[in-house]
């Protein structure tokens, strides 16, 4: 909102931002694309593996400390996390292993 006494005039405030080109016109090195796909796939697989190890370690810790009543809450949390994470891992690894076939 303009300050009192100052009128906002669009023709004076227009900033030229350049041309907008389709994304396909920008050159991206294929090596960068391959590295990104590889790192994403590896990171998601590592996160999935660490999540599974964390779930079992947490369950064993709760059992050994005598707090077995907290296990259903922990299980519910991982039952929500695992389908989402496994879907991401499946998509990333499928893309990584099939990108040469496109």
Measured between alpha carbons, how far is residue 18 from residues 27, 36, 91, 92 in Å?
A: 18, 28, 36, 35
Predicted structure pTM score: 0.61
Q: What pLDDT is attached to residue 11?
A: 57
Nearest to 77 by CA among 51, 53, 98, 102: 51
Q: What is the average pLDDT across 2-26?
A: 63
State the residue for tokens 């990584």: 96
In the chain, domain spans? 30-101
For 35-49, write each residue's pLDDT tens digit: 888 888 889 889 989
Whether 62 contacts 71, CB under 8 Å = yes
Per-residue pLDDT of 10-20, as tens digits, reads 555 666 677 77
Q: Which residues of 42-70 are buried (b: 16+ CB within 10 A; e: fewer)?
A: eebeeebeeeeeebeebbeebeeeeeeee
């Amino acid at each position: 909102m303009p300050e009192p006494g100052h009128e906002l005039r669009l023709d004076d405030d227009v900033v030229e931002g350049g041309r907008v080109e389709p994304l396909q016109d920008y050159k991206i090195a294929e090596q960068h694309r391959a590295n990104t796909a590889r790192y994403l796939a590896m990171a998601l697989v590592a996160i999935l593996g660490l999540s599974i190890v964390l779930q079992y370690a947490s369950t064993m810790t709760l059992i050994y400390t005598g707090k077995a009543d907290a296990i259903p809450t922990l299980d519910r949390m991982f039952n929500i996390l695992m389908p989402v994470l496994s879907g991401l891992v499946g998509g990333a690894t499928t893309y990584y292993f099939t990108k040469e076939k496109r």
